[in-house]
Amino acid sequence: MRLTRVITRFFIPFFCTGPGLISAQTIEQLVAEGLRADSTGNYKSAIKLFSSAIEKEPELAVAWYNRGLSRMKMNQHSLAVVDLNRCIYIDTANTNAYFNRSIAYRRTSNYQFALADINHYLKKRPSDKDAQYFRFELLCEMQEWNDVLVCAHYLNSIAGEEDAKIEPDLMAAFYEKAGKSDSALGAINLAVQRLPANTLLRLERAHMLHRFGKFEQSLKDLDFFTNMERSESAEREIQKLKADNLFYLKDFEGASVIYTDLLSSDTMNASLKADYGHCLLQMEKYELADSILTSAIRMKNDAPAYAYLGRGIARQNLGKGQEACDDWHKSKMLGEKRAALYLEKFCKTR
């Protein structure tokens, strides 16, 4: 995630005392010494001091709260949750405790609890931008993409001059993840319009167009790179995407030429071999497809379902029915849904 806002809420100590204070001077000294130890990075000593204060007064919210913060700084997030739970039970008005507990929950992968806490906090302090950005990043981790979009639009609406806005290309990625292809393309088009010479954006849009099945448009974006100097890795990425577009446009000869060229300098790329093997299938070069896909399978040990699917097709056309069925069975077991269709059609009586 490129947009990151450092959350420093847990560095804010809580100085207010809780109810039922006894031996006030002694407890106040323990808390004060604990805060000093925490501020100098001596978190173990701080925890011991806050613990001593809690032993003297179990209902002391300030000690539970600050011990929770010290534990967070030592990455003891589960223990921090326990402390902050107790703090909130004693003092429900401590809004910072909800924010910090949300952070601790997030770091222990208890995302629903983290979201509930940050939502509670924001009801009390809706103008807190740190909290709004924290909620945004939490939703991204939870992959709640529709909520991410709502949050992203809101963050952009409240962003000041010094705040980083969520750029259109990142918005495009969120739209895509939310299954809103038209909005995703609209956002990436806006990004390209703003920065027409940005090669990364152009290539990103070409990939997105390919994923949405707009292969001719993707090829047009790749034409932008013609006669342009670029790194070897970028050249390979562009050529691979071009070959994939040609494949889906049924220009198998054109795709085959590119796949062959790429493999000449990357002979150990099993995924590329699998793609080339499927291209050969479409060209009805079954012997060569069988060989290439077998090589891809051997290179990946348990191999991808895609390669087994293709080799099964090749072997069925070569009259190796039982071997084809074995490949499709392996492909299905590895998660390739299309393999079931071949098993149903060719292997029911075997």
Q: What is the DSSP string of 107-173?
A: HTT-HHHHHHHHHHHHHH-TT-HHHHHHHHHHHHHHT-HHHHHHHHHHHHHH--TTSPP--HHHHHH
Q: Where in the chain is the domain with CATH 1.25.40.10?
A: 1-125, 251-350
Q: Which CATH architecture best describes the domain 251-350? A: Alpha Horseshoe (1.25)
Provide the pLDDT for residue 302: 52
- Among 181, 133, 189, 137, smallest CA distance to 158 is for 133
Distance CA 288, CA 179 (A): 38
Q: Which CATH architecture best describes the domain 1-125? A: Alpha Horseshoe (1.25)
- Start-end of H helices in the chain: 24-39, 43-56, 61-73, 77-90, 95-107, 111-124, 129-142, 145-158, 168-177, 181-194, 199-211, 215-223, 232-248, 252-264, 270-282, 286-299, 305-317, 321-333, 338-346
Length of the chain: 350
Structure tokens at 183: 């909005």
Provide the pLDDT for residue 303: 57
Dihedral Cα 183, 188, 189, 194, nearest 10 deg: 130
Please give the DSSP secondary-structure letter assigned to residue 20: S
**Residues 100 and 107: beta-carbon distance below 8 Å:** no
Maximum Cα interatomic distance, the chain, rounded to a whole number of Å? 91
Distance CA 289, CA 316 (A): 12
Query: Which pLDDT tens digits describe the chain residue by residue (350 residues)?
Result: 333 333 444 444 554 444 444 344 489 999 999 999 999 999 999 999 999 999 999 999 999 999 999 999 999 999 999 999 999 999 999 999 999 999 999 999 999 999 999 999 999 999 999 999 999 999 999 999 999 999 999 999 998 888 888 999 999 999 999 999 999 999 999 999 999 999 999 999 999 999 999 999 999 999 999 989 889 999 999 999 999 999 999 999 999 999 999 999 999 999 999 999 999 999 999 999 999 999 999 986 555 899 999 999 999 999 999 999 999 999 999 999 999 999 999 997 65
Provide the pLDDT for residue 257: 97
